[in-house]
Amino acid sequence: IEVFRELVRIHNEEKLSFKNVIVFNLFEYYPLDINFAQSCMNQIKTNLLDKIDILPENIHSIDPTLNQSEIAQHCADYERQIEECGGIDYQVLGIGGVGNIGFNEPGSQASSQTRLILLDPNSRKEAVHFFGSIDKVPAGAITMGINTILKAKRIALLAFGEHKASTIKNIIEGNITDLYPASFLQ
């Protein structure tokens, strides 16, 4: 949220334009009502996109309302859209408590692309503050894969809070392993 606030400030005070920026949402909980205020895309819109001059046609998001039978094609189309736009220039990532980037949970492979994934129990617990209770947190998410993320020209990994210190230590100083998917950033 702080990054979004700073971008809005720069847009307003320094007249930084976002008209030529194309955005691809990293992940979305699944299944989910598209109008759910706490959805990832609604949070990005509320805190950033609705406050800058980005063109609506330049905003791409994962659809969390699809039938499961439609997800594989949707994910392939999402990958194609990224490729058609020339790939991702700048990927901003947070780090989950289990070493995940996006929702590439432990066990995710470096070759993974956008796909539906079951959430780790700890990732679901981290999301309780958005949903109110664990039983309301969706069991899955559609996420960009590690391979998709690693193709970005530049990557920023943001981590906030002392509780993530050991995870950061493991992904920076430890072995590259699917137990800590963020370690693939090494």
Q: Would strands 23-24 and 27-30 be described as parallel, antiparallel, or unpaired?
A: unpaired
Residues 1-9: contacts with CB under 8 Å, at least 24 apart: 1/47, 3/92, 3/158, 4/44, 4/47, 4/48, 5/47, 7/48, 7/52, 8/47, 8/48, 8/51, 8/52
Q: CA-CA distances (angstroms) from residue 160 to 94, 165, 170? A: 9, 9, 15
Catalytic residues: 105
Task: Say which residue the tokens 């700073």 belong to.
Answer: 6
Task: Say which residue the tokens 């996420």 belong to.
Answer: 143
User: What DSSP string describes 85-108?
Assistant: TTS-SEEEEE--TTS-BTTB-TT-
Furthest CA-CA distance within the chain: 46
